[in-house]
Amino acid sequence: MRVVVVTKDGTEYSRAVEMFLRDLARQTGKVLEVLDPESTEGETFCRAYDIVEYPTIVALSADGQLQNIWRGATLPMISEVSYYATQG
């Protein structure tokens, strides 16, 4: 599965997102894809999955189907996200 974190740098939540990603990598060995919603790829991704709030973490199946989504500054537990990051 693909897990994508849509976030902007230099915001009030960016430090929390950085810590979350670092802790997730340390605990699980998984590195998540990070997209800036203002980049070309990020804009296209946000339009496709109707993302208008940041940060947003999106879990997608291999064929791009939405499996789960977490929106806003209250980040999910690492175990919730790692479940999707480890699925085949």
- In Å, the largest CA–CA distance within the chain is 34
Please give the pLDDT value at position 19.
Answer: 97
Q: Is the domain defined by 2-86 classed in CATH 3.40.50.450?
A: no
Q: pLDDT of 5-57, one tens digit each?
A: 999 999 999 999 999 999 999 999 999 999 999 999 999 999 999 999 999 99
Spatial neighbors of 14 by CB under 8 A, at least 6 apart, are 7, 8
pTM assigned to the model: 0.93
Provide the β-strand partners of residue 66.
60
